[in-house]
Amino acid sequence: MEKLLLKRTITDVCKRIKQETLQSLRSEIADYQESANQYGQAKDRYDSFREQVANKRDMLVQQYQKVQEEINLLDRINLERECEYGGFGCVVVTPLQKVFISIGIGKITLDDGSVYYAISAVVPFAKAVKEHKKGDHFEFNGKKMEIIDLF
């Protein structure tokens, strides 16, 4: 598979995962809001059900906003050019794993069965490969590794 097409495919899978998360959160937020509305006003000053529901809804709204920010980060990745150096938006292939430095999702499997790991740009592995290029060696967790491919 062409490298830029592969990178676009990986990005699309990450976006799809996050869009599904948004859909789920949107549904949960609506459920909590409906529950609070149906319950009505507090029955007495010790009745905290409505407040608990509102707190849970607010927490879900914060999660929703974080997922939206992650999708916005994915949208900022330049899919029109290959990366020369390790960093945000690049795919790094080592003998042990294939990593997409973007947002922290974890293991993703493409339709062809290939496995990539979507990681945040602030995790130690991403920092270890930063500013390295294809063919470079770097050390991670006390092990020397080589960047077989980078795009």
**pLDDT per residue over 11-25, tens digit each?**
999 999 999 999 999
With beta carbons less than 8 A apart as the criterion, state whether 145 and 138 touch.
Answer: yes
What confidence score (pLDDT) does residue 32 get? 82
Residue 42 has pLDDT above 70, yes or no: no
pLDDT of residue 52: 84
Chosen domain end from 45, 75, 105: 75
Residues 11 and 67 in one domain: yes
| Residue range 119-143: mean pLDDT, rounded | 95
- Residue 105 domain boundaries: 91-150
Residues 69 and 39 in one domain: yes
Q: How far is CA 17 from CA 32, 48, 66, 72, 73, in A?
A: 23, 35, 14, 14, 14
In a shared domain, residues 16 and 60: yes
Residue 44 has a pLDDT of 62
Q: What is the pLDDT of residues 65-97, one digit of tens each?
A: 999 999 999 999 999 999 999 999 999 999 999
Contacting residues for 125 by C-beta, under 8 A, at least 6 apart: 99, 119, 140
Please check whether residues 31 and 65 belong to one and the same domain. yes
| Domain membership flag for residue 9 | yes
- If asked whether residues 102 and 48 sit together in one domain, one would say no
The total number of structural domains in the chain stands at 2
Radius of gyration of the chain (CA): 21
Asked if the structure places residue 82 within a domain, the reply is: no
pTM of the model: 0.85
User: Strand 98-102 relative to strand 149-150: parallel, antiparallel, unpaired?
Assistant: unpaired
pLDDT of residue 38: 79
DSSP state for residue 41 in the 8-state scheme: S
Q: Are residues 64 and 16 in the same domain?
A: yes
Is 69 found in the same domain as 19?
yes
Do 99 and 70 share a structural domain?
Answer: no
Query: Residue 113: exposed, middle, or buried by beta-carbon count in 10 A (0-12, 13-18, 19+)?
Result: exposed
| Least reliable range by pLDDT among 25-29, 33-37, 78-82, 123-127 | 33-37
Is 86 within the bounds of a domain? no
Distance CA 6, CA 112 (A): 11
| 98 in any annotated domain | yes
